[in-house]
Amino acid sequence: MADAVLFEFLHTEMVAELWAQGPDPGPGGRKMNLSVLEGMGFRVGQALGERLPQETLAFREELDVLRFLCRDLWVAVFQKQMDGQRTHHQGTYVLQDSSFPLLVPMASGLQYLEEAPKFLAFTCGLLRGTLSTLGIESSVTASTAALPTCKFQVVIQQP
């Protein structure tokens, strides 16, 4: 059971390391750090999107892929399934996790709300990367109302 914690520690160090370079780099630098994290998540997501569905049958539609994200991907990375998945309108999905494992050790409630985006950037990239390998171009953003609940909004680019 120590496996889950290994990734959490690594992730915390990744965020800490990227922010240690410039203690408060200002809005421009901050954006770059977030996109570096997102880029890392993207590449990992691409590889996972190839390896995880290896034994499963072919996905027939978008909803299948989203279901795969909420179940298999989340279980593989965070050892739990995602709690909710909602479709808002054509091509927008909101995936909700009421106790996101990377946020759970931080706080419960409104404390550290401004720090939360740093810890969600990697996961946004992860989702985007997996979707991209499975053939869906999208943009993923995350938002927290109160730790450790968070919502990932996936907007699928229509060709």
Partner 1 sequence: MAVCVAVIAKENYPLYIRSTPTENELKFHYMVHTSLDVVDEKVSAMGKALVDQRELYLGLLYPTEDYKVYGYVTNSKVKFVMVVDSSNTALRDNEIRSMFRKLHNSYTDVMCNPFYNPGDRIQSSGNLGISLSCRAFDTMVTSMMIQVC
Of the candidate residues 11, 34, 38, 46, the single one contacting partner 1 (CB under 8 A): 46
Q: Which is nearer to partner 1, 128 or 151 (CB)?
A: 128
135 binds partner 1 (CB under 8 A): yes
**Angle (CA) 87 88 93, round 5°:** 50
Q: Which is nearer to partner 1, 46 or 144 (CB)?
A: 46
Tokens representing residue 132 in the block: 């991209």
59 binds partner 1 (CB under 8 A): yes
Question: Nearest-CA neighbor of 99 among 144, 141, 45, 131?
Answer: 144
41 binds partner 1 (CB under 8 A): no
Least separation in angstroms between residue 61's CB and partner 1 is: 8
87-93 long-range CB contacts below 8 Å, 24 or more apart? 90/158, 91/155, 91/156, 91/157, 91/158, 92/153, 92/154, 92/155, 92/156, 93/66, 93/153, 93/154, 93/156
Give the sign of the dihedral formed by CA 80, CA 50, CA 151, CA 95: negative
Report d(CA 110, CA 100) in Å as an integer: 15
Q: Which is nearer to partner 1, 51 or 71 (CB)?
A: 51
Of the candidate residues 34, 37, 53, 93, the single one contacting partner 1 (CB under 8 A): 53
Tokens 């880029």 belong to which residue?
Answer: 39
Q: Which is nearer to partner 1, 47 or 104 (CB)?
A: 47
State the number of binding residues for partner 1 (CB under 8 A): 16
Of the candidate residues 4, 25, 56, 76, the single one contacting partner 1 (CB under 8 A): 56
88 binds partner 1 (CB under 8 A): no
Contacting positions for partner 1 (CB under 8 A): 43, 46-47, 49-51, 53-54, 56-60, 133-135
